[in-house]
Amino acid sequence: MVSKLLTDMLRSRDRREVMEALIDIGKQGHPELAHELFPFLTHPDPDYRSLAIQSLGLFLKIPEAKSRALAMWATNPDPDDEVREAALSAWYSYYRDSKDVEVMRVLLSIVRDKNVDKSFRGSAYLGLLRVSGFDLAEAPYDGRIQEAVIAKIAREHGLD
């Protein structure tokens, strides 16, 4: 019943309903509706693309969405800044607490690149913390990139 309601909301002409459904499918955990989200990854509306990749990657962890998330921020970047940032977050969420050195190396290079948008760098920094398994109680993320934390993670994982 809930699945049918959410599917109907995705087909609504009401933008708010569509956006609510895109969010709810992920947050409420409806992997059976993942196939309904993939078409939104190429929708003209960047908010729809952003919400779809977040639901598929951040919340549902649909394996097929990992490569799509990577493409949306790196290999075939989305034209919208917020969509690229959402895709980066979705991508690194697949590696949370994995201590994957190659993923951390990619995130670290973004964090250190002063030519990259501050918000995107901040998202990469949070990703670096999450992938490395860094204890956020030690240095809570407050929106600022902390050089000492970066140095510690790089040192501990042989990233320099």
Model pLDDT for residues 94-109, shown as the tens digit of each residue: 999 999 999 999 999 9
What residue segments make up the domains of the chain, in order of their start?
Answer: 2-93, 101-156
Indicate the pTM of the whole model: 0.94
Residue 72: its H or E element = none
Phi/psi of residue 47, nearest 5 degrees:
-65, -40
Q: State pLDDT tens for residues 103-150.
A: 999 999 999 999 999 999 999 999 999 999 999 888 888 889 999 999
CA dist 80 and 69 (Å) reads 14
CA dist 130 and 73 (Å) reads 18
Identify the CATH assignment for 2-93 out of 1.20.120, 1.10.10, 3.90.320, 1.25.10.
1.25.10
Instruction: Give 75-80 contacts, CB < 8 A, sequence gap 24+.
Output: 78/46, 78/49, 79/46, 80/46, 80/49, 80/50
